[in-house]
Structure 1
Amino acid sequence: MQKEDAVWAALEEVIDPEIGVNIVDLGLVYEINVDDSGRANIEMTLTIPECPLADDIVKNVKEAVTAISGISEANVSLVWEPKWSPARMNDRAREEIRSRQSIS
């Protein structure tokens, strides 16, 4: 498995605490690059720029990525273009959100 694939897989374990769905399925992660020195550069966004849990999410991303063997550092760049919208979510995220709403 390439290092980028390992990073994508690790980020599937990072949950947006307000929505309860992982950040990959939500479409928050735009790009991942890992250089030869094991430094991972992650470009991502949040559902809203004013997200009160932004620091927690970024911290969780860094922890998940640096736990991967061969990854020495994780740099997270929060970007606001393209703007996130629910259209970026995959079907798994939509289904998970629907199932949570039907429970409440």
Structure 2
Amino acid sequence: MEQSIDTNLLGTEIVAKLKTIYDPEIPVDIYELGLIYDVMVSTDFEVKILMTLTSPNCPVAESLPREVEEKVKSIEHIKGAEVEITFDPPWSKDLMSEEAKLELGML
């Protein structure tokens, strides 16, 4: 039964969960900010998230990846979650969604 779970549907659930996590310095969720580069769900329901931070000296560099892992692991059927931080490419305002730019008065 468990193998019939749609990993694409799980991906949608993961994105929805990521949209509940906010950068503490910017009132926009981390997904709309463009901090999430990739979300991969294996057929074993293990999740790997490739993300960045707004800067290498980000004050939540330790806690934010842990929060992402914990929230993703709380989704039903997810067996595990791993976050990999990268700064390639470095984050820039160009990675923000139109919604985030509008929220921050940048449009």
Q: Partners in 2 of 1:56 and 1:94 — Cα distance? A: 25
1:9 equivalenced with 2:16 (yes/no)? yes
Q: Which amino acid aligns with 1:5?
A: T
Point out the structure with the larger strand share. Answer: 1
2:39 is the alignment partner of 1:32: yes
Q: How many residues align?
A: 99
Instruction: Give the aligned partner of residue 48 of structure 2.
Output: 41
How far residue 6 of structure 1 moved from its aligned partner, in angstroms, is: 1.2
In structure 1, the gaps of 5 or more residues are 100-104
Are 2:73 and 1:66 equivalent residues in the alignment?
Answer: yes
Runs of 4+ in 1 over 6 A off after TM superposition: none
Question: Which residue pairs with 2:96 in the alignment?
Answer: 89
Aligned-CA RMSD value: 1.4
TM-score, length-scaled by structure 2:
0.86
Classify the secondary structure of the residue corresponding to 1:8. helix
Question: Which TM-score applies when normalising by structure 1?
Answer: 0.88
- Matched with 1:22 is 29
- Give the deviation of 1:16 after TM superposition: 0.6
Alpha-carbon distance in structure 1 between the residues aligned to 2:77 and 2:19: 18
Of 52, 55, 60, the residue aligned with 2:59 is 52
Give the superposition deviation at 1:23.
Answer: 0.5
Distance 2:59 2:83 in 1: 17
Q: Which runs of 5+ in 2 are unaligned?
A: 1-7
1:98 positional shift: 2.3
State the partner residue of 2:4: none
The CA deviation string for residues 33-90 of structure 1, in whole angstroms up to 9 with x for no partner, is 1112211000000010111111221121112101111111110000011111001101
